[in-house]
Every structure is written in structure tokens, then in C-alpha cells.
Structure 1
Amino acid sequence: MVGDTLSSCLRTLRHDLPASLVVFLVAVPFSLGIAMASGAPLAAGLVAAVVGGVVAGSLGGSAVQVSGPAAGLSLVVVDLVQTHGWRATCMITLLAGVVQLVLGVFKAARAALAVSPAVVHGMLAGVGVILALAQLHVVLGGRPQRSALANLVELPGQIADLHGHKVAVGLLTIVVLAVWTRLPKPIRAVPAPLAALLAAAGVAWAFGWDVTRVDLSGGFSEWGFPVLPSADWHTIVGAVLLVAMLASVESLLCSVAADGMHTGRRSDLDQELTGQGVANMVSGALGGLPIAGGIVRTTANVRAGGRTRSSSILHGVWVLVFALGFGWAIRLIPLEALAALLVFTGVQMVSVARVRRVHGHREVPVYAVTLAAVILLGLAEGVLAGLALAALLALRRLTWVTVRKREEQDGRLYVTITGSLTFLGVPRLTHELRSIPVGAAVDLDLNIDFMDNGAFEAIHSWRLDHERMGGTVDIDELHDEWYALAASGGRTYTAKSQPKAPDRWWMPWAQRQPRPENRTIPDEGGSAPSECQLAAGAREFHRRTAPLVRPIFTELARKQQPTHLFITCADSRIVPSLITASGPGDLFTVRNIGNLVPRRGSEPHDDSVVAAIEYATQVLGVHTITVCGHSGCGAMAGVLSAGVQAGSLPGLRRWLRHGDHSLARFIETEGDRLHNGALDVLCRVNVQQQLENLRTYRKVDEQVRAGTLELVGLYFDIGSARVHMVPPLRSSLSVKL
């Protein structure tokens, strides 16, 4: 047992160790850059990276997520540092961790995911724009301003007053980052941020350029315990909740995204939130930046082969070792190179792919408003503006009512109302209903998932008025009977329900609830042409059933993958999908008179059944072939009468010759039952014989022997509506399903 555990650990470590080194190489430059953008000591970024790796990695609920300082929080941190000072900002980070810990303990992680992704993506894009504009000034040799607008206004003057060496280092860094992904794969094994910083530092050192160097002096030695901000408690609580919310949402969304990158254990979001809370408490106490799950570090971890938390933990250890033992190497990095890295990162945060995704769900306004408000007003204000707009759009969608009207050739008017019917939709609903001509025959379909009293009163009063003026109204509800219950005085429920299938869809036309569109139209001779009934049935399918099954058929349109070949009789009383409770795409069906399978090489020659068998077994790869017979089969009556009952139907008499083996088998095995329900006994024996006939085809027999194909016999007793299993010929028993 111990040996197996040790072997498993070694196998896992074989993947996690190299992955941790890759993440470490990505994390160091990002941590330093985010610390610089946050206005915090550069050492604070390394502290957050260490704590995010070791603490969040050990206690979190995701197997592959890597936590550390987050670019999305840099705007909040820089404002807190400028307002309250660094040590007070650390206390806010610590208290935000307490809030996260409490939320995780009380299983509130899922609630954080209720934030619209369009708001989150818009916020990150806004942060990216602000980050890029601010750090672009550093790249150009100047200093960033306090707002994005100020940075934008000052940018032309900054460009006019270029600082040669500093600009060159920044541009070199950006060029390396841009072209690195296009280089050969062996070269790309080195992370792009590390390669860019090494190139910038190396060139600046080699040519003796005048650049600003990273300074870590006093970063670890001047630590002091965090202090409470000298502000009123409303301000402190607001800052704590803002940091806690943003860090939680970013971490949890990253966890969900990470689950889609690997096939291992799924994330425990409550545990992840708890781990993030403890990590922020430790980071704040040690003088580090706020911590959150980072999509860049996590993606690097997964792509490098990381499988467990060990990778995240080890990356934190490597950052600690590097900071303590190789801090001198960090001093070689130009600040302008770090700024260029952040400019590149900020531009990437404005993701075109994310805009396409939100556009597909018609949430671009939420994205755009959040982005603009973050840039113009601030992070908290931008998030609130985005959340407010998202809530308004969601309310609009929930209350939007669609009314479609269509007049058929028979003069009837078909009206379909779709949506959630509340009092907010009554004005539009009333306008559309009042536009219906007086005296019209109306079929009103309610494809709704909720109806309040205001909407019911609007529809009901219109119906009474319309019928009083000589019109007719037939109301049909595709979901729960909101209107019928309200009209009868019954209690309705606010919970939305799943769509139900059209009532009695499985009944024969003649026995269904008569509906106007199902009434046949007699021709001049007094008969009702069948195509009228079929056309009416197609219209009913389009109106009532198609909306329910369209998603299924949309998926099936690309390819069919049935698992069963179902051979049954052409008898109109046999409905394969009904008696097997199957749906579209399940059965590859063959129907003929008597559910017969011609034996290989038999006469008269017939390729239709053989072609279906070959296609099903050799192309579609079905797992089962089922032969289904039924009681009172007319084909078997013809076989039992030696073709006499086929009368003057030469084609039918020739086809029934394929049932001769069934008759011979019946006489051989059931001869003593010729006068005791002989027809139904022959129907069962015929199923058994057709299963034997299937074995005459070499490919079928080979697959059956190999265990990849199963032959099954079914018998449907029409009178009792019972399906029976028919055993192979070696047994004459049948088992009820």
C-alpha cells in the first residue's frame, strides 16, 4: 500500500515539478509588474506570489489553479495606497480575506458566480485599458497620471518628449512579447514574459543604456504589522467588500475556466473561496498584495502538464527561494521593461473573443457600459453600472412578450403568444389582441412559462369581448395550464415549469380532441382526402411540437448515430418509437410486410432489407438488431394459408415465400397447437426464425460471435398493449417487459 502511494506521488510529481518551474518563470515578472502598477513595494508582489502558491495552493479547491497578485485588482490597490497608505492597504487585504473565509465557510461561493460574465469581462477590459495607458507613460520615460483621461490627455506631450534608451527598452520588450508565439515550439518552451525581460535586461546591460532599475532594497526588511485606515468605518467597509468581491469573483471564474482545461478532479468552489480567504489574510499580514486566481498562471500550469496542487505549491517555493537567494538578479530588470509587459498584458485584457461571446448573447451593451464606466468613473462605479444594466436587461427579457399572427387559407387566424406574461407586458399584449378583426375565428396558442393576474385579466376580458361580438377563440397552452387554472379559480404557482408535450399526441387522428385544423375538408364526392389530414398534422407539428424538439433535431442534423436496427412489420398499428419509448436518432428502422428477413441467397431476390442490414452493421455500427412481430399479423395469416389469403396479389404472394421457413419451423415445433391460437403462435415463431435468418449473413454472424452485436426478438400484443421478449429458438418461453 505504501509502495503504491509513493509510486503514485512520484508519477504525479514527474508532471508537477516541471510545470511548477514554468509557472515560476511566468509568475516572477508578472508579480513585479503588478506590484509596480499597484503603487506598492515591488517585494509585495513576490510576497503575494509566494503566499498565493503555498497557502492558496494547499487550502484551495482547484487542482490546477495558480493564485497570486491579480492585474484586475491593481486599480483598487493603487487607489487604496494613495488614499490610506500601504500598511493600511495591507489591513484591508487582511480583512477582505476574513470576508472570503466567512463566505466560504457558509457555502456562498456559488452566489459570487451570479455576477454577469459580461460585467466581469467589461471590468477586466476597462482595467486593461487603464493599465496600458498608465504604464505606457513609464515606457515613454514619464510618470503615470491619476486617471485614464489624464493619461490620455498627457500622452501626446509624453510622445513628443521621448527618452531614447527607456523607450527602446520598452519597445524591445513589446516586440519580443508579440513575436514570441510565432517562433518554433522548442524556443517557446521559455515563457514569453521571461524571454522579454531577459532580452531587455541583457541589451540594456550590454549597451550601457540609461534605464531605471528595479529596486528591492528594504522590501523584506522594513516589514511592519498592518494598521487600520484612518477613515470612517463606511469607507473601510466599502473598501474591504470591494476587494473581497473582486478577488472572489475573479478566483471563482478562473476555477470554472480551469475545469474546462483538464480532465482531473473538478473544483470545490467553497473550498477554493476558503483557501483564497486564508491566503489574503496571510498576504495582508506579511505585507503582500491582494491575491486571486490568475488565468495566465493557471493556463501556463495546465499547458506545462500540471495535475495537482503540488505544482502551485512548488511554484510558490521557487519564488521564495529566488527572492531570498537571487534578489540581485531582479535589480538588473529595467522598470520600463516591466511597464511594457503590463502594457502588453493590458491590451490583451481587451479580448475580442470575449466581445464575440457576449455579442452572441446580446450583452454587448453591458460589456460596453461597464468598460466605459470603469475608465471614466472608477472600478467600483463601473461594476455597479454594469450590474444595474445587466439586471435591467434581464428584467426586460423576462417580461418581453412576443405576439405572432398568421392567417390560414381556411380563414382562421392563428395567434401565438410567447414569453413570461406579467403586468409589464399588458400594454403591448392588449394592443396586439385588440388589432384582431371582430368576428374572426382565432386559435390562440400560449407558449408561456408564467402568467400573473394582470396578464390573465387582459387575455380573459379580450376573449369575452371577442366572443360576444361573434368571434370564436380556442386557447391551447403548451406549458402548464396557467390560463385554465386562473379561469377555473384554481391556484397558480410562480415557479416556471418545463414544456410539456402536446396533449394526446400519440392518439390516432380520429380519437383526439377535435381541433379546427384537424377537421377534414370533404371534396365534391363527399370523401375526405387524406392529404388534408396529413397537412393539418404537419401544421400542428410546426406549431406545437417543433419548438420543443428543434434543439434535438438541430444536433442530429449533422450526423445520425443510432444504436439499434429495428426490423418490424409495416402494420399501421405498430409505432416503434411508442412501444420502445425511444426518440429521434435512436432507431434505424426497416419495415416490411411480416417483418421478414430474406435468408442469404434466397428467392425471390430482395436487396432492400440486406442493404439496411449492411449499412447498419458496417457503417453505423449498431449494437443491436431487433426483430419485432405482433399479434394478428396479416402476413403470417397469408403464410399459414399457404398463400391463399394473398388472393390476386402476386407481389405479396412472392414476398411471403420468405416466410416458408417460419411455417416449417412452426409445424416442426408447434404442430400440436395448430388449432389453439395458431396465428399468434406463428407470429412468435416467425420472429425467432428471422433472428436465425440474420445469422445467414457472414458479417452479422461474425459480430454476434465476437460479442459486438446482439440479436433481440420482440412481440407486441396489440390487444393488451404489451411488449414481450421472444427468446431464441432453443426456448419457446416469452417474458413480459
Structure 2
Amino acid sequence: MREDAQGTQPTQEGYDSQPARRRIRLPHTAAADFGASLVVFLVAVPLSLGIAVASGAPLIAGIIAVVVGGIVAGAVGGSAIQVSGPAAGLTIIVADLVFTYGWGITCLITLLAGLVQIALGLFRVARAALAISPAVIHGMLAGIGITIALAQLHVVLGGAPQSSAIANIQELPGQIADNHGPAVMVGLVTIAVMLVWSRIPDLGRVRLRRVPSALVAVAAATGVAVFAGWQVERVNLPDSLASAWSGPALPETGQIHGVVIAVATVAMVASVESLLCAVAVDRLHDGRRVRLNRELFGQGAANATSGALGGLPVAGVIVRSTANARAGARTPLSTILHSVWTLLFVVLFASAVELIPMAALAGLLVYIGLQMVSLAHMRNLRKHHEVSVYLVTVAGVVGLGLLEGVLIGFALAVLVSLRRLTKVNVRTEERPGDKNEWHVVVQGSLTFLGVPQVTQVLRTIPTGAKVDLDLHVDFMDHAAFESIHAWRLDHERTGGRVDIDEAHENWYERNCTSTAPVAKTPSSSRSRWWAPWGMRQDGSSGESASGLLVAGAREYHSSTTEKMRTLMGRLSQRQRPAALFIACADARVVPNLITASGPGDLFTVRNVGNFVPRWEPGVSDDSVGSAVEYAVSVLEVPSIVVCGHSHCGAMRALIEGCPVRPGEADLSSVVRWLRHGAPSVTRLGTDRHGLPAAETVRRLAEANIVQQLEHLLSYPAVRERYEAGRLELTGMYFDLETAMVHVLDASTRQFVAVGGHRIPEQRVGGMEHQPQ
């Protein structure tokens, strides 16, 4: 048996077969992994030293964590390219443990936390870690980042960090007022280089930004300090690894309770951070998907080993993992090699490492800490109304401590979720022009907690009125059913009439015909209208294709025809679509679904690759061309949309040169059609070199959308109406994994996620309007 794409723990057969597949692929991926490992190594060295400093641990502990994290987690874990090592998210935990118990007991806590992670992986509970609200996770990391930045800012200013974030804030004005000399300049140089480096333009083919900014910043600060002859505190490595080794130590009897809590905390934070990072990294490559339980096992093995050897706790880290993916890594070989390079560098070039000023590492951590406060995460959480959870978690971590802040944030997240589950919205209106006719809409989850609100509104409806009651509810418990049913019976006994329409599942109807309360499970007779046939639970997945079509038509007749008859009667005489929608023929892209449009809204053209062949007299493709000309000249649509999508097979075929493999069916028509995509490949240019395949496909899909918009302007009818200001051209991109729609921004030429908010009208078009 093989593991599924979601990361389920593989069987013994899956474990046995995996090494064989790796050996087969190794010759084709070794070069890419080798290059990527060098990039990650350059990022890892300064970060590991800085995290060790911030944690109050021996500097060599950071190096040990890099070596162990890369080799052990890379070899044993379940992620293809995630890089593990000392993580900034664990810094304040470790600093508190070192201050409270000393370094030896902290190593023991790391070892035991690793054993806990191993047990959790064996019991297959990795997926449960993903149930924690992202608002709590991001809030925790932001709080940790602020705490790190506040503490290390004192080091940059030549002082020493205080015992808490609040104390650091209180002491900061006095620290700034004092004159601290060269250490301040070293720290400022480091921060300035980190800020500027990502904005430096490329010099021809020389892409300076490929060099890690952390390495450049620390190297620049070190060089300035050396050449200026500044007397600053520098890194002090031991003469040998053997002399620096400090293994685990046993706690005293009175410390056991605190150690147990510390083990659980380290295991929880390291596990959640690693698993979330692994899931995020999967979006950066198209290789093997992460096996979450095996990855948790690998992280535990790395932590147990690191603790035994006197290293820092280990977790998956997003910065190094992202660098690994962008550098072209394909297998765990890259993360293993980066650890090897780190060990060799420290052993062979220890004297160069000892030139690094401590203030440079502190400046690096100030920048990294502030980067952990992500405005993008706050914007996303605001859309989902969870920013309060984020801010409360941040304030709790900074003001009270990590564990307290996380618990407060988690409790608030649970309360917010419960409020959403019990939230019900009731709207009522008297229909204009109709005597004593009312329309009532109930939305949300209808439970006993919402009964008072619903009952109060229903009782305001006059006696004898005709009522259309729309139940847009995803759940109805028996108390809610009884209240609505009792009101209906009373209203009809007094001469009124009630028509109940259920937009989703027939909660009310099923309660009327059953003798027991209905559990909160999907209907066995009907599925969500947007669900594919294969996901339905009524047994239809085993039918033939024609049987599924007939069954779907039968469901349409039984549930929708009556509601559609009036609408379709009005539309039957004439169509007036709002847009010509040119989309890929991919079955996963449903134009009416992703645009929330209905019958008559879209005049749709679909083909492989959403191509619009350029118009040339007597040469253009009549299929697409006739649809374009009819939509523009006859239907006079005010808008044309070209919609591409992620994971497009046509884009992948263009990248691979339209291969036709031996033994495949005749695809000559496909090959001829894909020639229309050649200009899109030319537009993409060489930007795809060195990128993961999935990222290349995405960029080509976006470039292809822009190219087809330009092809549309080659049609005389399109150009005439476009230049007259009567036609708008829009580029749209649909991400299959996130189910998000992105629209081409005319000003930035970038695709912007719609995200539930309205994009300003002047920026939607995708093609800038330039009237003559």
C-alpha cells in the first residue's frame, strides 16, 4: 500500500519501497540537491549562531542542532525538502529553560520532548496538530518575534537583555539614551543590509539577491568591524567539539513537575511549527507530498539526538525550507548535505567564525524577530474575522509568557468558533405591492441557542399573512425544528399560509417525516449541489457515466426545475450575457461556480489551455474566432475574461516541449493545438530557470493569460470596441489548491487574490484602457 497525498502514515510496504525509488531518482536530482544545499548552508550558519546567542545556550549548541536536524530529520522524516534546525520560534522557551534549570537539564528536556514526538508519530496523531487555529499559531510566532527583537535590541545597543519583554520595554529608553560605541554601529549595519539587500536590482545576469541576505549582513558587519578596528565582543568557539560537549543532566526532585511541563511545551511547539511548515513547503514543489506522522517521528528523532549531544531543540524552519525549495532542491539529500557543509565549515574555518561580532548576530535576530510579525497574516485573519485571536495571543505571549499566551489565544479561538456555530441571522420584509405577503430568510446554524431570536421575529408577522420562509441553514437541531414547526401550525390554523424553501439540505423536511432527531450528518439522498458525482454518498459513484448524467438530470428535475421554470422562461427569448468567458477545458474549473453566476450571465468558450489564436486574414481558428466575433458584434458583451488555472496540463506540456511518449494514443491534434501557446512560453522567457516545476507552471499559466488578452486585440471587432471604451478585458487565474480566484491588476501587472473584498473598479481590467 502507498501513502495518500494527505500525508497518511504509510504501511510497511510503503517504507520498504521508498528507498528503492530514491535510488532510481538520485542521479537525476543530485546536482540540484547539491547546489541547494550550499545555499541553505550559507543561510543556516549565521542564523544558528544567532539563535544560540538569543537562547542563552552555548554557541556550539546551535551548530549541533543544525547538523543533527539536517541529517537525522532529513534521513528519517517524511518531508521531501523541509530543512530542520534551531528555530526562532523556540528561542524564548529555551532561554527561559536555561535561566530556570541550566543548560544540562535543558538538554534533558529536549531529549525527552523528542521521545514524546516519536511516540506521537507512532500513534499517528500528527494531523491533530493542524487543528490548532492558525490565528493562535501566527500570534504565538509574532509574540515570540517581538520578544526576541526587544531582548536583542538591548544587545545591539551594547547592553544586556532583561528578564521579560515588559522589563525590556521599560529599560529601552534608558538604553537608547546611553552612548554604547561601536557595538551600535555593528548592529545598525547588520539591520540596514538586511533591509536593503532584497531591494537591490540585478546587474545583468548577475542576480545578487540569490546570495542569502543573512550571510551578506553578517559578513558586511564583520568586515566593517575588522577594518575599522573596533573593539567589540565577538563569537567565541571552543577549541574542540569534545571540550565543548555538555550533555543532559538529571533534575532535582523539586524540579520534576516543571520539567514535565517544559517537555510538553517544547514537544507541542516544535511539533506544530514543524508540521505547519511541512504543509506550507509542499506548496513550493511538485515532488512527494509530506507524510505527517513520519515527519513527526523524524523531528522527534532529531530532538532526542540533539538533546543527547548537547544541542538546541530542533524544528522545521520556513526560512531555510523556502530557500531550499527556491534553490531547486528535490530530495532530502539537500538538507543532509547542508548539515555536512556546516560541520566542515566550523571545524575548518573556526577562526573566521570567531571574527563575527555578537552585535551583528543580535542585529540579525532583531530583524528576524520583527519579520515574524506578518502584516499579510493579519490581513488574511481580518478577512476571516480572527484578528482578535491573533492580537490577544500576541499580547499574552509578550506580556505573560509563551504558555499563558497560547492558552489564552486558544481559549478565545474556541469561543469565537462556538459563537460562529451558534450564530443565526434572521431577516424579514413585507413584499411591496403584495397585500399581507412576507419574506423571511434564516441563515446560519439553527440550534436551540438561536430559537429565541427566530421565534421573536416570526411572531411579528401578522395573522393570516402569506409567508415565504427560506431556510439557508447548515444544521437544524430538534429544538429549532419544533419551534418553527409549532409556529407554522399556529399560523396556518389562523388562516395564514407558510411555504418553506430549504436552500441546502432538507433539515426541516426530514424532521417532519422522522420520529427521532436528525444527527448532524450530510443527507444520504442529496449532496451539495457543487460536489462532484464521485464524492456523493448516495451510491451514485458506482454508476456508469451515462447513468450519472441521467441521475443528475433526475435530481435536477426533482429539486430545481420548478424553481428555474420562471427564470428560464424569461431567458428563453433572448440571451444578454455580461461577459465572454474564455476558460480552459479542465473539468476542475467551473466558470459559473467560481464567479457565482447563473444562467444567461456568461457566454462561455472552453478549450485546452484557454488559448485565443491570433487573428489573421483567412488563417485564424474559426471555433474560437466565431465565438469572439459573435459575442462582441452580435451579443455586444461589455467584458471578455480569459481564465487560466494552476496545475494546467497544457502549460506543463508546453514546458516539456509537448512530448508524445511511446505507446500513447495519437495526440497529433493536441500537439498542433498547443502550438498556439508558443508565444506564452516566449513571454515567460528565462525566468523559469532554476524554479520548481510547480512554480514554473504557475508562472507560465499567468503569462499565458496576459498573452491571450493581447491576442484578443488582434480581432478587429474587439479592438474597435476596446479602443472606443465599450469593452473591458480581464485576466483571471484560479488556484485549484486554495479554490481562490485571482484577478490581473492593470497597474502592477500582478494577479491579486479577490479574497472576498471588492477590487476597485479601475484596477480590475487586467488590460489598461488607452482610448484614442
Same structural fold, with TM-score higher than 0.5 when normalized by the shorter chain: yes
Counterpart-to-counterpart distance in 1, 2:619 and 2:447: 56
| Compared CA separation, residues 94 and 561, structure 1 to 2 (3 A) | farther
User: 2: CA distance between counterparts of 1:164 and 1:555?
Assistant: 65
Residue 495 (1) aligns with residue 539 (2): no
How far off its partner does 1:561 sit?
4.2
Q: Report how far residue 478 of structure 1 moved.
A: 2.9
Match of 1:228 in 2: 250
Residues 499-514 of structure 1: pairs in structure 2 closer than 5 A = 499=528, 506-507=556-557
Shift of 1:550: 6.4
**Is contact 2:605–2:624 with CA below 8 Å preserved after alignment?**
no
1:464 aligns with 2:489: yes
Whether the aligned pair in 1 keeps the contact of 2:43 and 2:215 (CA below 8 Å) is: yes
Q: TM-score, normalised by structure 1?
A: 0.70
The counterpart of 2:37, out of the listed 20, 34, 57, is 20
Provide the C-alpha distance between the structure 1 equivalents of 2:136 and 2:596, rounded to a whole number of angstroms. Answer: 31
Asked if residue 356 in structure 1 is aligned to residue 364 in structure 2, the reply is no
Q: Does 1:192 align with 2:225?
A: no
Which residue matches 2:233? 212
- Taking the aligned partners of 2:265 and 2:23, their CA distance within structure 1 comes to 44
What is the alpha-carbon distance in structure 2 between the residues aligned to residue 413 and residue 505 of structure 1? Answer: 29
- Per the alignment, residue 646 of structure 2 pairs with none
Deviation at 1:438, TM superposition (A): 2.2
Distance in structure 2 (CA, Å) of the matches to 1:5 and 1:79: 41
Encode CA deviations 1:458-490: one digit per residue, 9 max, x unaligned: 212222222233211122223333222323343
1:61 and 1:620, CA in 2 relative to 1: closer, same or farther beyond 3 A? farther
Aligned to 1:562, the other structure's residue is in SS state strand
| Residue matched to 1:384 | 407
- How many residues align? The count is 560
Q: Does 1:179 align with 2:196?
A: yes
| Counterpart among 85, 88, 92 of residue 75 in structure 1 | 92
Counterpart pick for 2:322 among 287, 292, 299: 299
Contact 2:71–2:339 at 8 Å: present in 1 too?
yes
Name which of structure 1's ranges 485-494 and 156-165 shifts more when overlaid on structure 2: 485-494
For the Cα contact (< 8 Å) 1:504–1:512, is it kept in 2?
A: no
Letter in 2 for 1:226: P
Aligned to 2:749: none
CA deviation map 1:390-448 (0-9, x unaligned):
11111111111121224333342121212111111112112221222222111112222
Alignment of 1:106-117 (within 5 A): 106-117=123-134
Counterparts of 1:410 and 1:176, CA distance in 2:
71
What is the Cα deviation at residue 532 of structure 1?
12
Q: Write the mapping of 1:340-355 to structure 2, written as runs, cut at 5 A.
A: 340-355=363-378
1:614 aligned residue (618, 622, 634):
622
1:288 is aligned, of 311, 323, 328, to: 311
Q: Aligned AA for 1:159?
A: I
Q: For each residue in 1:208-261, what CA deviation from the matched residue of structure 2 results, as whole angstroms up to 9, or x when unmatched?
A: 102111112278314243123334543222211111110011111111111111
Identify the match of residue 362 of structure 2 among 339, 364, 369. Answer: 339
Kindly provide the amino acid, as one letter, of the partner of residue 104 in structure 1: G
For residues 613 and 174 of structure 1, the distance between their equivalents in structure 2, rounded to whole angstroms, comes to 57
498-507 vs 424-433, which deviates more? 498-507
Partner of residue 389, structure 2: 366
1:142 aligns with 2:166: no
State which drifts further: 433-442 or 360-369. 433-442
Q: Pick closer, same or farther for the CA change 1:447–1:86 going to 2, 3 Å.
A: same
- C-alpha distance in 2, partners of 1:507/1:612? 41
* Alignment match, 2:178: 161
Q: Give per-residue Cα distances to partners, 1:11-38, cap 9 Å, x unaligned.
A: 3121111211111111010000001111
Matched-pair contact (CA < 8 Å) for 1:562–1:620: no
Q: Match for 2:528: what amino acid?
A: P
CA–CA separation in structure 2 for the residues paired with 1:401 and 1:562: 40
Relative to 1, partners in 2 of residues 1:291 and 1:419: Cα closer, same or farther, differing over 3 Å? same
Alignment-mate amino acid for residue 163 of structure 1: H
More divergent stretch after superposition (368-377 vs 497-506):
497-506
The Cα offsets for residues 630-689 of structure 1, whole Å up to 9 and x where unpaired, read as: xxxxxxxxxxxxxxxxxxxxxxxxxxxxxxxxxxxxxxxxxxxxxxxxxxxxxxxxxxxx
Shift in CA distance, 708/83, structure 1 to aligned 2, threshold 3 Å: closer
Query: In structure 1, how many angstroms separate the alpha carbons of the residues matched to 2:430 and 2:504?
Result: 23
Distance 1:435 1:549, change over 3 A: farther
Aligned equivalent of 2:105:
88
Aligned partner of 1:479 in structure 2 is 504
Change (3 A) 1:214 1:611: closer
SS at match of 1:405: strand
Contact 1:519 1:533 in 2 (8 A): no
Would the aligned equivalents of 2:152 and 2:363 in 1 still touch at CA under 8 Å? yes
Q: SS of 1:226's equivalent?
A: coil
Verify: 1:202 aligned to 2:223, yes or no. yes
Q: What is the CA-CA distance between 1:271 and the residue it aligns to?
A: 1.0
**Range 326-335 or range 69-78, more displaced:** 326-335
Match for residue 562 of structure 1?
A: 606
Change beyond 3 A, Cα 1:467–1:90: same
Helix, strand or coil at the partner of 2:412: helix
> Aligned in 2, Cα 1:137/1:439: closer, same or farther, shift over 3 Å?
same
Q: Distance in 2 between matches of 1:280 and 1:456?
A: 53
Counterpart residue number, 1:424: 449
Does the 8 Å CA contact 2:110/2:263 hold for their aligned counterparts? yes
Structure 1 pair 444–278 and aligned structure 2 pair: CA distance change class (3 A)? same
Unpaired segments ≥5 residues, structure 2: 1-19, 531-551, 575-589, 611-617, 630-665, 673-772
What aligned pairs does 1:242-321 form with structure 2 within 5 A after superposition? 242-321=265-344
Identity percentage over the alignment? 54
Deviation at 1:321, TM superposition (A): 1.1
Structure 1 contact 42–219 (Cα < 8 Å) conserved? no
Letter paired with 1:494: K
Distance in structure 1 (CA, Å) of the matches to 2:507 and 2:136: 35
Counterpart CA distance in 2 for 1:311 and 1:362 is 40
8 Å CA contact 2:238–2:244 kept in 1: the answer is: no
Change (3 A) 1:519 1:24: closer
TM-score normalised by structure 2 residue count: 0.67
Q: Does 1:105 align with 2:122?
A: yes
Q: 1:329 to 1:533 in 2, by over 3 A?
A: closer
Q: Which runs of 5+ in 1 are unaligned?
A: 521-529, 536-547, 565-585, 587-609, 622-703, 711-737
- Given the alignment of the two structures, is residue 415 of structure 1 paired with residue 440 of structure 2, yes or no? yes
Kept after mapping to 2: 8 A contact 1:66/1:312: yes
Deviations 1:373-398 (A, max 9, x none): 11111111111111111111111111
Determine the C-alpha separation between the residues in 2 that align with 1:14 and 1:387.
44
AA aligned opposite 2:622: E
Taking the aligned partners of 1:31 and 1:397, their CA distance within structure 2 comes to 42
- Compute the displacement of 1:560 (Å): 3.8
Question: Are the aligned partners of 1:176 and 1:192 in contact in 2 as well (CA < 8 Å)?
Answer: yes
* Mapped partners of 1:86, 1:705: distance in 2: 66
2: CA distance between counterparts of 1:508 and 1:560? 27
Worse-matched range after superposition: 187-196 or 89-98: 187-196
Deviation at 1:558, TM superposition (A): 8.9
**Change beyond 3 A, Cα 1:484–1:563:** same
Q: Distance in 2 between matches of 1:159 and 1:219?
A: 38
CA RMSD of aligned residues (A): 3.5
**1:6 Cα deviation (Å)?**
7.8
Shift of 1:98: 0.8
Give 1:296's aligned amino acid. Answer: V
